[in-house]
Amino acid sequence: MRAMNELMRQAVDGELSETEAAELLRDTSLADELHKTAELRAALRGLSAPKVRPGFSARVLARLPAKRSLFERVFEALATPRFTLRFSAGTLTAACAGLAVIALTLPRASAPAQQIQMAQAVQTPATLIPAAYAPSSDEVPVRFVVVQPDAKDVALAGDFNGWKTNALHLTPAAEPGLWTVTVKLPRGHHRYMFVVDGKRWETDPLAEEHHRDGFGHENAVLDL
Amino acid sequence: MEDEALLAAFASAGDGSVRELEAERRRTFRAVVERYQDNVFRLAFHLTGSAEEAEDIAQETFVAAYGTLGKLRPGSSIEAWLTSIAVNRARDFLKSHRHAKTEVVAPDEMPQQADRDRNPEEVASEGQREQLLREAIEHLPPAYRTVVVLRDIEDKSYEEIREVLPLPLTTLKMRVIRGRLMLRKYLEGRL
Render pLDDT for B28-85 as a digit per residue (tens, 0 to 9).
899 999 999 999 999 999 999 999 999 999 999 999 999 888 777 777 889 999 999 9
What does the pLDDT read at residue A98? 46
B104-163 pLDDT, tens digit each = 333 343 344 444 455 555 544 677 888 899 999 999 999 999 999 999 999 999 999 998
A21-73 pLDDT, tens digit each = 788 778 777 788 888 888 999 999 999 999 899 999 999 999 988 765 555 55
Nearest-Cα distance to chain B for A15, in Å, is: 11
pLDDT at A19 over 90: no
CB contact under 8 A, A57 and B34: yes
pLDDT at A212 over 70: yes
Residues A40 and A94 in one domain: no
Q: How far apart are CA B91 and CA B61, in angstroms?
A: 12
Q: Provide the H-helix boundaries in chain A.
A: 2-12, 18-25, 28-45, 56-63, 70-79, 89-109, 113-122
- Which residues of A are less than 8 Å from B111 in CB distance? 36
What does the pLDDT read at residue B98? 57
Q: How large is the C-alpha radius of gyration of chain B? A: 20
Q: Is residue A61 part of a domain?
A: no
Which range of residues forms the domain containing residue A110? 90-223
B41 HSE (CA, 13 A, CB side): 20
Q: How far apart are CA B70 and CA B17, in angstroms?
A: 17
Q: How far apart are CA A207 and CA B111, in angstroms?
A: 96
What does the pLDDT read at residue B116? 47
Q: Are A8 and A30 in contact (CB under 8 A)?
A: yes
CB contact under 8 A, B38 and A36: no
Comparing CB atoms, the residue among B58, B130, B173 nearest residue A52 is B58
pLDDT bin (cut points 50, 70, 90) of residue A119 is: very low
Q: Which CATH class is domain B3-96?
A: mainly alpha
What does the pLDDT read at residue A215? 65
Q: Are B47 and B76 in contact (CB under 8 A)?
A: no
Residues A18 and A114 in one domain: no
A132-184 pLDDT, tens digit each = 444 456 788 888 888 888 899 999 998 888 888 888 999 988 777 888 888 88
Residues A141 and A197 in one domain: yes
pLDDT bin (cut points 50, 70, 90) of residue A77 is: low
What does the pLDDT read at residue B53? 93
Question: Which amino acid is located at A16 in the chain?
Answer: L
In this structure, what CATH number is given to the domain that contains residue A166? 2.60.40.10
Report the domain count for chain A: 2
- Kindly identify which residue of chain A lies nearest to residue B21, measuring between CA atoms: A67
Stated as kind and residue range, the H or E segment containing A143 is strand A139-147
Residues A96 and A183 in one domain: yes
Residues A40 and A97 in one domain: no
Nearest-Cα distance to chain B for A78, in Å, is: 20
Comparing CB atoms, the residue among B33, B46, B180 nearest residue A37 is B180
Q: What percent of chain A has pLDDT above 70?
A: 66
What does the pLDDT read at residue A127? 42
pLDDT bin (cut points 50, 70, 90) of residue A117 is: very low
Residues A102 and A204 in one domain: yes
- Output B173 or A108, whichever has higher pLDDT: B173
Q: Looking at the domain that runs over B100-188, which CATH code has it been given? A: 1.10.10.10
Domain boundaries, chain B: 3-96, 100-188
Residues A99 and A33 in one domain: no
Burial of A205 (C-beta count, 10 Å sphere; 0-12/13-18/19+): middle
Q: Is residue A68 part of a domain?
A: no
Q: What are phi and psi of B142, to 5 degrees?
A: -50, -40
